[in-house]
Structure 1
Amino acid sequence: MATTPSALLDSRKSTKVIVIGGGGTIGSSTALHLIRNGYTPSNVTVLDTYSIPSLQSAGNDLNKIMGIRLRNKVDLQPFFNNTGRLDCAHSEQGIRSLETQYQSLVDAGVGLEDTNEWLDNEDEILLRMPLLQRDNIKNWKAIFSHDGGWLAAAKAINAIGVYLQDAGVQFGFGPAGTFKRPLLTEDGASCVGIETVDGTRYYAEKAILAAGAWSPTLVDLEGQCCSKAWVYAHLQLTTSEAAPYKDAPVVYNADIGFFFEPNESGVIKVCDEFPGFTHFEMHQPYGAAHAQRISVPRSHAQHPTDTYPDASETSIKHAIATFLPRFQHKELFNRSLCWCTDTADASLLICEHPRWRNFILATGDSGHSFKLLPNIGKNVVELLEGRLAGDLKEAWRWRPGEGDALKSVRAGPARDLGDMVGWCHDGDMDVYGDRNDKEEGVGGKV
């Protein structure tokens, strides 16, 4: 029998919910939507190793690309910068992919062709982004998204954290917020709470694991997620250097990388584009019968001297030479590894764990979850209440053995950090000057 609206409202008021990894993108969005949907704030507990925005979250970053069409501008308006987005290609394969992407926008039948413009040559590209150098974009094609731009990522998550705190949500951070295991009923079939590494026990009717790249290290996901690192570095511009780039569109080329306009301090983030780095170790997550090879993230919060492989220095500098040649002389800083977790098909993993009732998984971002910040928590709450739309439930279901999360849908497989040199500087606290000038709100996935 269907739940009546009044019964659902009563259930929301009395149900206790724990959000593990609540300092990140999916977790903070989930906590926000629990409160918006009428859950009693004091019955919602957010756990994370670090306070919001978590230093281990992919969302704790300077900026993120926002997609071609933003469907909920109200929620993100203070943090969204509608500069436009320029998606470019120059290789034969890249141009074919771009043409397919543009046709899919037209075929969607919702008017996206009105806000997405095909640019057929460098003249048309330079009209949209005159700061690019003509000699560097010969034979390029592009799509210019008028609705695109970038989001001040860490600031957006921080604003959610302030809202949750003001609302009266409960928090556990540090060892008291770091997941150890689910608390189960005597028969082991249902979750009734969470124990953290310091031995603190939190009891609740529902627990949600939204720990991003750390999810497959915490509970057994049977190989459905593989955590990978991507890289970026920062350039510091003077006020006069930064001025021409104010409100410049995000420029992205799938064969090279992308960059954003300078922030208010004149910092530009530059990223390369590649299939990612893994970090495999023998590790036994909760629920696994034995230790297994799992890609285990290394956060800068816990490994402050990590930078990125020497190969990434070459690719980042290539991106700068292509997009920003006038700044090739600038010293790079805050060279960073940043972690997400891929599924085989790049769809989210949002479902109840099949072994433990009331233990909900909300992970598998595949590098794309931040654009979902306004609404993904709404979907998690719908799953929690048995109201998630059928197509989403099917796409985000428990699905071990269906494809290879190591490669996912990317052009090639990830390379393991164990095979790379130049990124690990344990014991060295002044590598390239990077770690000593790390900015607040920086350290997440590009």
Structure 2
Amino acid sequence: MYASRKNTRVVVVGGGGTIGSSTALHLLRSGYTPSNITILDTYPIPSAQSAGNDLNKIMGVRGRSKVDMKLELEALDMWLKDELFKLYFHQTGRLDCASSNRVASLRQQYQQLVDAGKGLENSNEWLDSEDAILAKAPVLDRNRIQGWKAIYSRDGGWLAAAKAINAIGAALEAAGVRSRVSGAGSFKRPLFTSDGTMCVGAETVDGSKYYADRVVLAGGAWSPVLVDLDDQCCSKAWVYAHFRLTAQEAAAYKGSPVVYNSDVGFFFEPDENGVIKVCDESPGFTHFKEHQPYGANAPKRISVPRSHAKHPTDTYPDASEKSIRRAIDTYLPRFNDKELYNRTLCWCTDTADAAPLICEHPRWKNFIIATGDSGHCFKLLPNIGKHVVELLEGNLADNLAQAWRWRPGGDTLKSTRGAPAKDLADMPGWKHESVAKM
């Protein structure tokens, strides 16, 4: 056991989001004194600015690397068994679909799962025809899936996102963990010893100072805005929209697997209120501005998130309306006339290789960076914080330390998504703010 858990003070910046709330929970579960854990966030848990504060997220084991597969299997086990998390995992199954030139890549993905030696050959099935796909998802329209192939994963499904983070918040509050919001919770800068190399706490925008032995920056898409990360993260927005079914309509879709196609997007079964969330698939959108994060020598061009919480009338570009409607027409054509609402941008931050950035800052001792979700870290909500705590205590596994290290370079604008994100300033229909072009 780490000798000083009882006495170590930790500040978690962005503790209302995915990585931050998970970190706070695992500090508590590891035996840290609740009064020595301080959560800072602009909003209460689940933070209204967090990508995790969402109706639902996809769960599935895809295993893009050995590190990813180990973490995803560990998370799956906790989603299934952990008393705090198991209520929020809807194991409906997941269909990853492709057609034409993308079938070879999907087949390779399937083979990697089969060859992993983790028993995934028993829970993943290759579907080679429309009949096989419709057997798993009879709600689909045969005419819309001509030529499709798919991987069906029984392990997959969806996660009730905001509810899961809210449950963490309730557990932390019940235990006596301190939480500060609004001006008292909005990060301004780290605090240092006189030589400027050792972090001893954090100051918020209202001037409050919170002293600690470790500070964890888990600000999600806001991380590169708060602290200079040497351009290792680029914050991007993706879009979604909701529509509502009648009770009779929703009953027909109960238990439907999550259906994903990288050319189209994805959708989830209706929630308990009959709400369906539909997402398109794109490289995302940026919002470049001149901004000087803490630690930068001068203002620089970075993508600055524009939160729906602070700008509730924001919607999405015209192109997104077309792509969302295309996804509905592909997956749910009988609902083409349904009225969409809550058309929203959801902000995440990409690294060039899609692996998180979780490491001690190279210039500031005891200041820990925990960000770079790249749109897929929510599935790790139950366990990602455990590994952040391992880093705090100096015993993070070598393979994780290597994958999550400080690593400037690479194309974060493109990331692993195959094309660079488009800037909102260039998108017709997005007129919410005058944004200077790059």
How far apart in 1 are the matches of 2:16 and 2:148?
A: 40
Corresponding residue number in structure 2 for 1:83:
92
RMSD: 1.0
Corresponding residue number in structure 2 for 1:216:
224
**What do the CA deviations read for 1:353-393 (whole angstroms, capped 9, x no partner)?**
01110000000010011010010000000000000000100
**What do the CA deviations read for 1:102-146 (whole angstroms, capped 9, x no partner)?**
010011011101100000010000000111011110110000001
Structure 2 SS opposite 1:13: coil
How far apart in 1 are the matches of 2:358 and 2:155?
A: 28
1:423 CA displacement: 2.8
Q: Give the aligned residue type for 2:77.
A: R
Could you tell me whether the CA contact under 8 Å between 1:90 and 1:140 is conserved in 2? Answer: yes
Q: Give the aligned residue type for 2:51.
A: A
Q: Which runs of 5+ in 2 are unaligned?
A: 62-72, 434-438
Structure 2 residue corresponding to 1:30, chosen from 23, 47, 55: 23
How far apart in 1 are the matches of 2:179 and 2:212?
A: 14
**What do the CA deviations read for 1:142-177 (whole angstroms, capped 9, x no partner)?**
000011100100000000000000000011100000
1:425 CA displacement: 4.0
Could you tell me whether the CA contact under 8 Å between 1:17 and 1:207 is conserved in 2? Answer: yes
Q: Give the aligned residue type for 1:235.
A: F
Structure 2 residue corresponding to 1:101, chosen from 101, 104, 109: 109
**What do the CA deviations read for 1:230-251 (whole angstroms, capped 9, x no partner)?**
0000011111111100111001
Map 1:134-213; keep pairs closer than 5 Å: 134-213=142-221
1:264 CA displacement: 0.8
Q: Give the aligned residue type for 1:415.
A: K
Could you tell me whether the CA contact under 8 Å between 1:206 and 1:359 is conserved in 2? Answer: yes
**What do the CA deviations read for 1:296-340 (whole angstroms, capped 9, x no partner)?**
000111111110000000000000000000000101110000100
1:207 CA displacement: 0.2
How far apart in 2 are the matches of 1:174 and 1:410?
A: 35
Corresponding residue number in structure 2 for 1:124:
132
Corresponding residue number in structure 2 for 1:288:
296
How far apart in 1 are the matches of 2:115 and 2:384?
A: 25
Map 1:23-422; keep pairs closer than 5 Å: 23-68=16-61, 70-72=76-78, 73-75=80-82, 76-92=85-101, 94-401=102-409, 403-422=410-429
How far apart in 2 are the matches of 1:305 and 1:421?
A: 16
How far apart in 2 are the matches of 1:372 and 1:243?
A: 30
Q: Which runs of 5+ in 1 are unaligned?
A: 427-446
Q: Give the aligned residue type for 1:43.
A: N
1:91 CA displacement: 2.6
Structure 2 SS opposite 1:371: helix
- TM-score between both structures, scaled by the size of structure 1: 0.93
Structure 2 SS opposite 1:322: helix
1:21 CA displacement: 0.1
How far apart in 1 are the matches of 2:187 and 2:49?
A: 14
Structure 2 SS opposite 1:14: coil
**What do the CA deviations read for 1:205-242 (whole angstroms, capped 9, x no partner)?**
10000000000000010100000000000011111111
Could you tell me whether the CA contact under 8 Å between 1:83 and 1:150 is conserved in 2? Answer: yes
The number of residues matched between the two structures is 418
Structure 2 residue corresponding to 1:15, chosen from 5, 8, 11: 8
Corresponding residue number in structure 2 for 1:433:
none
Could you tell me whether the CA contact under 8 Å between 1:305 and 1:424 is conserved in 2? Answer: no
- TM-score between both structures, scaled by the size of structure 2: 0.94
Q: Which moved more, 1:337-346 or 1:64-73?
A: 64-73
Could you tell me whether the CA contact under 8 Å between 1:17 and 1:204 is conserved in 2? Answer: yes
